[in-house]
Amino acid sequence: MSKNRLIGLSASLLFTFGLVTGAAMADGPQIIKISAKRFEFTPSEITIKKNVPVVLQLTSTDRTHGIAIPALNLRSDIPAGKVTELKFTPNKSGDLKFYCDVFCGDGHDNMEGKFKVTD
């Protein structure tokens, strides 16, 4: 097989593989990174789509925090220095509030955020 034909075949395979991989990735979950530190989540307002799976990758920079999402009946601890994944699929639109449920000091009551779930 000639060098040019081999290069063309390789490029064709890479292009085809890229299309297949890209399509599969588009159908995957939405991955959202959230950082927790005394007395805030970053980001604190997140837009997601109804019926699209979500994976939260949660980290804490200072101490163990928690996250509670009452409308989805979900909660998780967020230990410092580790990544914790929380998976869910929102099945209703609107604003879903989340908050820290592990006491972290005087500003703890204000440590909250919301998911804006769109259709």
Of the two residues 83 and 4, the one the predictor is more confident about is 83
pTM: 0.76
In the chain the first and final C-alpha atoms are separated, in Å, by 52
Dist. CA 36–CA 43, nearest whole Å = 9
The pLDDT tens digits of the residues spanning 22-71 come to: 333 467 999 999 999 999 999 999 999 999 999 999 999 999 999 999 99
For the domain made up of 29-118, give the CATH fold: Immunoglobulin-like (2.60.40)
Helices (H) and strands (E) in the chain, counts: 1, 9
If 0-12 CB within 10 Å is exposed, 13-18 middle and 19+ buried, where does residue 106 land? exposed
